[in-house]
Amino acid sequence: MAANWKMNKTTKETEGFINGFLPLVKDVQDVEIVIAPPFTSLPVAAKLLGESNIKLAGQNVFYEESGAYTGEISPLMLKDVECSYVIIGHSERRQYFGETDETVNRKIRAAISAGLAVIFCIGETLEQRESGNTFNILKRQITEGLRGITANGLVLAYEPVWAIGTGKTASPEQAQEAHRFIRSELGNLYGDTAGTIRILYGGSVKPDNVSSLMSKEDVDGALVGGASLKPDSFAGIVKYI
């Protein structure tokens, strides 16, 4: 279960969340928990999480180790502040900042090379779904985004763009249909190893709908946005059983 805080929470708010959240999930052993705060909160989050059962993620990364790239963060910088994961290819990065399948691929390569595990986001817009192009879009994003990438350290997140921050959620059946297709495409790339790659669902996941989503065979977890901003809400998702 991964929390993507997006552009939310100051360092003090991050401290308050973690201090409230840790006691709620301290006994959780069968769920991997990941939190992705803003870059400015990563050092304080790393210090507070310490040896807990929660891992830290960056929300984005650049594909060079260093250089004249004003405003960017390298994979080595994320490792330096104790990140284990990084989110790459989120639809908001594609929509607002011009990320393409090619730049996403370069970022994934750089992150894995630096020893970061990657949460690779894919998903279709409402227009693409309504025109019957969902599978074509997913196939292209997978094929181009994972070109030359090994399966090691890879997690996928299916996030239908029409369900992100809208309050709309793909039905469990819609999620399973997409996840099954993604699993099949991963099988074409990685063979039997595809069965070990976790596929998360993202898009208006809440405590009251997570169980129905997680009941589906190919839904292995969730990438949570708004509902991850409050300790009790995200804890309810983590402890959905």
Would you say 12 and 40 are in contact if contact means Cβ atoms under 8 Å apart?
no
Residue tagged active-site, from 90, 124, 179, 185: 90
Single-letter residue type at 40: T
Encoded amino acid at 72, one letter: E
Determine which helix (DSSP H) or strand (DSSP E) holds 18, and give its type and residue range. helix 11-25
DSSP track, 129-183: HHTT-HHHHHHHHHHHHTTT--STTEEEEE--GGGSSSS----HHHHHHHHHHHH
Both tokens of 40, joined, read: 């400015």
**H helices within 26-100, ranges in order?**
42-49, 75-80, 91-97
- Strand-strand pairing, 85-88 and 221-224: unpaired
| DSSP label at residue 215 | T
CB 121 within 8 A of CB 87: yes
Asked whether the beta carbons of 90 and 159 are under 8 A apart, the reply is yes
Q: Catalytic residue at 179?
A: no
Position of tokens 């989503």? Answer: 213
The answer to whether residue 159 is catalytic is: yes
Q: Which of 32, 92, 99, 159 is catalytic?
A: 159
Residues recognised as catalytic: 90, 159
